[in-house]
Amino acid sequence: MTQRMRQGAVAAAVLLLGTTAACTGPAQPPALHGPPGHGSAPQRGFTLVASGDVLPHDSVIAWGNEAADDGDGYDFRPMLAGVKPVVSRADLAICHMETAYGEEEGPFSGYPAFVSPPQLAAGLRATGYDSCSTASNHTLDDGADGVRRTLDAFDKAGLKHAGSARSAAEARRPALLTANGARVAQLAYTYGTNDQPLPDGQPWAVNLVDERRIVADARAARAAGADVVVVSLHWGTEWQTAPDDDQLGLGRKLTASRTGGRPDIDLILGTHAHVPQAYEKVNGTWIIYGMGDQVAGTMADDEGDQDPRGNQGSIGRFTFAPPAAPGQRWRVEKAEFVPELMDLTSGRVVSLPRALRDEPDRDDYEEARSSITSAVLSRGAAADGLTEGDG
**Over the stretch 157-184, which tens digit does the pLDDT of each residue have?**
999 999 999 999 999 999 999 999 999 9
pLDDT at 146 over 90: yes
228: nearest Cα among 260, 174, 183: 183
- Read off the pLDDT of each residue in 311-339 and give the average, rounded to a whole number: 96
pLDDT at 376 over 60: yes
99: nearest Cα among 53, 59, 58: 53
- Contacts of residue 62, defined as CB under 8 A and 6 or more positions apart, other chains included, come to none
DSSP secondary structure letters along 79-106: HHGGGHHHHHHSSEEEEEE-SEE--TT-
Chain segment 238-272, per-residue pLDDT in tens: 999 999 999 999 999 999 999 999 999 999 999 99
Set out the domains of the chain in order of their start, with CATH numbers: 38-388 (3.60.21.10)
Residue-level pLDDT at 41: 53
Mean pLDDT of the chain: 91
Specify the 3-state DSSP secondary structure of 211.
helix
Residue-level pLDDT at 9: 35
Chain segment 86-119, per-residue pLDDT in tens: 999 999 999 999 999 999 999 999 999 999 999 9
Residue-level pLDDT at 4: 38
- Read off the pLDDT of each residue in 300-319 and give the average, rounded to a whole number: 94
- Read off the pLDDT of each residue in 36-47 and give the average, rounded to a whole number: 65
- Read off the pLDDT of each residue in 62-76 and give the average, rounded to a whole number: 93
Query: By percentage, how much of the chain surpasses pLDDT 90?
Result: 85
Residue-level pLDDT at 200: 97
Residue-level pLDDT at 29: 57
For residue 288, give the H/E element and its range: strand 285-288
Residue-level pLDDT at 151: 98
Asked if residue 70 lies in contact with residue 114, where contact means CB atoms within 8 angstroms, the answer is no
313: nearest Cα among 280, 337, 346, 334: 337
Helix 119-127 with 143-157: angle, nearest 10 deg: 40
Residue-level pLDDT at 70: 79
pTM: 0.91
pLDDT at 34 over 50: no
- Read off the pLDDT of each residue in 377-384 and give the average, rounded to a whole number: 98
Residue-level pLDDT at 99: 98
User: In terms of DSSP bridges, do strands 131-133 and 92-97 run parallel, antiparallel, or are they unpaired?
Assistant: parallel
